[in-house]
Amino acid sequence: MTAASAPLVSIQSLHKSYGPHIQVLKGLDIEMKPGERVVVIGPSGGGKSTLLRVMMGLEKIDSGAITFGGKPYISSSDLAAKTVIDTEVRRSIGMVFQHYTLFPHLSVIQNLVLAPCKVRGEKKASALQRAQALLERFGLGAKANAFPAQLSGGQKQRVAIARALMLDPKLMLFDEVTSALDPELVAEVEQVILQLANQNLPMMIVTHDMWFAKNIASRVIFCAGGVVVEDGPPEQVLGAPREERTREFIDRVFHIKQ
Amino acid sequence: MTLDFSVLLRFQEALAVGLWTTIKLTLICVVLGCSLGFLVGLARTSPSIIVRGIASVYVEFFRGTPVLIQLFWIFFCLPLVLGVELSNLASGVIALTLYMGAITSETFRASLKSVGREQLDACIALGLPRHVQVVNVILPQAVLRAVPTLLSNCVSLFKESALVSAVGMADLMFVGQNISNNTARPVEVLTIVALIYFAIAFPLTRAVTLIEGRILKKLAI
Amino acid sequence: MNYTFDFNAVSLGPLIEGLIVTLELTVAANLIGVILGFPLALLLMSRIAVIRWPATLFVEFFRCTPAIVQIVWFFYCVPMLFNVFLGSMTMGILALGLNLMAFNAEAYRAAIQAVPREQVDAGIALGLNPFQRVFYIVLPNALRASIPVLLTNGIVIFQQSALVAIVAVQDLMYQAKTLATETYRPIETFTIAALIYFAVSFPVTQVVGWLERRRQVLTS
């Protein structure tokens, strides 16, 4: 295998349930190449967010395995019923959540420098400089010393993205990052993500915004009932889906009655 | 009857000494009680069932019995149990510290619990090690959230400290009762004593409201 | 420690008698507090300053002074000021009842003001008149929300009632004090008395905890 085609992420038969009765992921297989921007769509409860949370190492899994950059990342041993997560690998992944999850007691810039200083032992001065530059780039230069509660939802989410970028992630996960925003604030957040897309940062995005999905995706996965139903380029999955269930979903989302 | 508040002028100094005892006792027990409460609050979230159990029994017992009886127990029984003499101040400090520890542990426990799961998710996503999660993210938020309730707890302690007069410690209430007995002017003396307590406790309760409104709103904690 | 315990030296009879007095005090004070606390809460929220201020002063005074000061004041000063003495039990009930009234008024006020604005808006949108909005929307919401706090305040008064022992009401605390002196068995006596107080308080605090958890589940 050449380096170009070697997968960045490889997910093999991932199973995950909450309690004995609720099976959320029922054997998911996804392979993601470097530079890909994968948008995951699908009905609520179909396992999209759970997939992202598992990839971030926030959830235990029942069985299956994930490798990252060819290295084993997450695996589960059936015998011990234990999920093994390589925290070293986990540090190369960044995630942005629906509800911002900024640290409310820290100013914007302190939110940004906490992890680089504490995780990588970066010098405070250099981290502050990088943070300020990043904030300027996202149009938040003036907000460096504000507290999260003093920001709009769109600003908070841009700060959250900047915070994740401070660790130079090799993969970014976006979990419905615009779902909690007022409609007029959605664009400013999506612009920032599009900016990152132009730099070929690999990302996996869960969103309900089909316009955004079409614009950013290099590949779309339709996920329902805990399995991958359809997987292909955006023109196919969003424009001319091959699977019946995908078509139904897309039609409903776009309000097209036939 | 006619009221004559001028009798009190003669006892200014005695009242001041009493008040100082009350304040000293309160301050000592605020510091000791909050420290104890913090540790007990942590103990109540401990994974060990024994640690949790001991902490719970302590808290529930001290919250479930009158402070007066706790005080009597410590003044009259603890010296017998330990076989040592305890000064009035030492007994008062022990009793009120245990009381304060019990009520503040609940405050700390509630504020620790109120730091949500999402904050932990963010910590993990940023790869923060466990001690950084605790020191830089969870504790600061928990302490900030606890501040208003802790202040209320301090006001409660300040008020409960008047109970030590019942076991003969010369605090503000005790001095006031003595003066009232000696002068046969209970209305004037006790009213002034009440007003002194009020003059200290009331601004503190206002401060609680102010802090809740200002600081916590600013941070939306 | 060279103390030999002898719990048999403590006769339970007087303690039980004391407990009955304590419970009477508690129930009577709670009746006053729960019933009269509510109109007081309405006064606290009055738009008319002349009504609101005295009510606020009353409540803040009880909340910001030690209960023992209130009780001693009540027992010494009310007879002198008003030339009445009502019997120590009645005085005890009144002193505790007024204290509880202040705390409960605050609980009612907080609960009423915590009813979300949207609830009232929904009432307006449905065409309910102001009277209907208060009786069908605000009060049922608020009263339910205030129950845990009222119960907690009630149990606090049960514990605070021990203070009347200082002014010679023969409650559980008073009996324990007397018994401790008579028998020279303070450890056993005060321990048993404390356990009796605990045995009454603890179940109530557990109920309050359960109510609050249930409320959180229902409203989340």
Instruction: Determine, for residues B127 and A56 on separate chains, whether the beta-carbon distance falls below 8 Å.
Output: no
Q: Tell whether A200 is covered by a domain.
A: yes
Indicate the average pLDDT of chain B.
88
The number of domains in chain C is 1
Q: Please list, in sequence order, all residues whose beta carbon lies within 8 angstroms of the beta carbon of residue B9, skipping any fewer than 6 positions away.
A: none
Question: What residues of chain B lie within 8 A of the CB of A167, using their CB?
Answer: 126-127
- CA A158 – CA A208 distance, rounded (Å): 18
Size of interface B-C (CB pairs under 8 A): 128
Which residues are paired to A67 by β-bridges? A10, A72
H, E, C per residue of A60-110: CCCEEEEEECCEEEEEEECCCCEEEECHHHHCCEEEECCCCCCCCCCCHHH
Buried b (16+ CB within 10 A) or exposed e, B185-207: bbbbbbbbbbebbbebbbeeeee
Q: Contact C14/C180 with Cβ under 8 angstroms?
A: no
pLDDT at C150 over 90: yes
Interface test with B, best of A85, A92, A105, A151 (most B CBs within 10 A): A105
C85 touching B (Cβ < 8 Å): no
Q: What letter would DSSP give residue A225?
A: T
Backbone angles phi, psi at A66, to 5 degrees: -130, 130
C96 touching B (Cβ < 8 Å): no
CA distances from A67 to A6, A74, A106 (A): 11, 7, 34
Interface test with B, best of C3, C59, C61, C69 (most B CBs within 10 A): C69
B217 touching A (Cβ < 8 Å): yes
CA distances from A29 to A12, A25, A76 (A): 5, 10, 15
Instruction: Determine, for residues A149 and B126 on separate chains, whether the beta-carbon distance falls below 8 Å.
Output: no
Q: Tell whether C6 is covered by a domain.
A: no
Residue A79: per-residue pLDDT: 64
- CA B15 – CA B179 distance, rounded (Å): 9
B124 touching A (Cβ < 8 Å): yes
Q: What letter would DSSP give residue C47?
A: S
Residue A4: per-residue pLDDT: 54
Do C and B make contact via 3 or more CB pairs under 8 A? The reply is: yes
B124 touching C (Cβ < 8 Å): no
B16 touching A (Cβ < 8 Å): no
Summarised one tens digit per residue, pLDDT across range B72-116 is: 889 888 888 888 888 888 889 999 999 999 999 999 998 988 888
Backbone angles phi, psi at A160, to 5 degrees: -60, -40
Instruction: Determine, for residues B125 and A114 on separate chains, whether the beta-carbon distance falls below 8 Å.
Output: no
Q: Tell whether A3 is covered by a domain.
A: no
Q: Scanning every residue of chain A, which has its alpha carbon at the shortest distance from the alpha carbon of B137? A: A103
pLDDT at C70 over 60: yes
Q: Tell whether A183 is covered by a domain.
A: yes
Interface test with A, best of B115, B117, B121 (most A CBs within 10 A): B121
Q: pTM value?
A: 0.81
Size of interface A-B (CB pairs under 8 A): 71
Residue C175: per-residue pLDDT: 87
Q: Tell whether A43 is covered by a domain.
A: yes
Q: Tell whether C190 is covered by a domain.
A: yes
Q: Scanning every residue of chain B, which has its alpha carbon at the shortest distance from the alpha carbon of A86? A: B127
| Higher per-residue confidence, C131 vs B59 | B59
Q: Tell whether A227 is covered by a domain.
A: yes
Do A and C make contact via 3 or more CB pairs under 8 A? The reply is: no
Instruction: Determine, for residues C64 and B205 on separate chains, whether the beta-carbon distance falls below 8 Å.
Output: yes
Residue A80: per-residue pLDDT: 65
Instruction: Determine, for residues B76 and C193 on separate chains, whether the beta-carbon distance falls below 8 Å.
Output: no
Question: What residues of chain C lie within 8 A of the CB of B187, using their CB?
Answer: 76-77, 80-81
Residue A224, SS3 per DSSP: strand
What domains lie within chain B, and their CATH numbers?
5-219 (1.10.3720.10)
CATH code of the domain covering residue C185: 1.10.3720.10
Instruction: Determine, for residues B218 and A167 on separate chains, whether the beta-carbon distance falls below 8 Å.
Output: no
Question: What residues of chain B lie within 8 A of the CB of A91, using their CB?
Answer: 127
Confidence label for C3 from pLDDT (cuts 50, 70 and 90): low
pLDDT at C183 over 90: no
Residue C172 CA to its chain's centroid (Å): 17
Nearest CB to B73; choose among C163, C194, C205 = C194
- CA A34 – CA A201 distance, rounded (Å): 8
Instruction: Determine, for residues B198 and C61 on separate chains, whether the beta-carbon distance falls below 8 Å.
Output: yes
Residue B46: per-residue pLDDT: 82
Helix (H) or strand (E) holding A178: none
The number of domains in chain A is 1
Interface of C with B in 183-212 (CB under 8 A): 186-187, 190-191, 193-194, 197-198, 201-202, 205
Q: Is A208 exposed, middle or buried (0-12, 13-18, 19+ CB in 10 A)?
A: middle
Q: Mean per-residue pLDDT for C67-91?
A: 86
- Smallest CA–CA distance, residue C136 to chain B, in Å, is 30
Nearest CB to B173; choose among C69, C76, C160 = C69
Q: Tell whether C36 is covered by a domain.
A: yes
pLDDT at B68 over 60: yes
Nearest CB to B219; choose among A53, A104, A114 = A104
C63 touching B (Cβ < 8 Å): yes
Q: Contact C7/C192 with Cβ under 8 angstroms?
A: yes
Cα R_g (chain A), whole angstroms: 19
Domain that holds residue C110: 12-219
- Smallest CA–CA distance, residue B113 to chain A, in Å, is 16
Question: What residues of chain C lie within 8 A of the CB of B176, using their CB?
Answer: 69
Q: Tell whether C56 is covered by a domain.
A: yes
Residue A38: per-residue pLDDT: 95
Question: What residues of chain B lie within 8 A of the CB of A105, using their CB?
Answer: 140-141, 144, 219, 221
Indicate the average pLDDT of chain C.
87
- CA A187 – CA C206 distance, rounded (Å): 50
CATH code of the domain covering residue A82: 3.40.50.300
Instruction: Determine, for residues C173 and B69 on separate chains, whether the beta-carbon distance falls below 8 Å.
Output: yes
Q: Tens place of pLDDT for every residue, chain A, 258 residues?
A: 445 568 899 999 999 988 888 889 998 999 999 989 999 999 888 889 999 999 998 888 988 999 998 889 998 876 667 888 888 899 899 999 998 889 988 999 999 999 999 888 899 999 999 999 999 999 999 999 999 989 999 999 999 999 999 999 999 999 999 988 888 889 999 999 999 999 999 999 999 888 899 999 999 999 998 899 999 999 999 888 899 999 999 888 876 544
Lookup result for tokens 């409203």: C219
Helix (H) or strand (E) holding B103: helix B88-114
Q: Tell whether C35 is covered by a domain.
A: yes
**Which region holds residue A205: left if phi is over 0, alpha if psi is between -120 and 50, else beta?**
beta
Q: Terminal CA-to-CA distance of chain C, rounded, Å?
A: 53
With contact defined as 3+ CB pairs under 8 Å, the chains touching B are A, C
Nearest CB to B124; choose among A57, A99, A147 = A57
Residue A78: per-residue pLDDT: 66
Domain that holds residue A125: 9-254
B4 touching C (Cβ < 8 Å): no
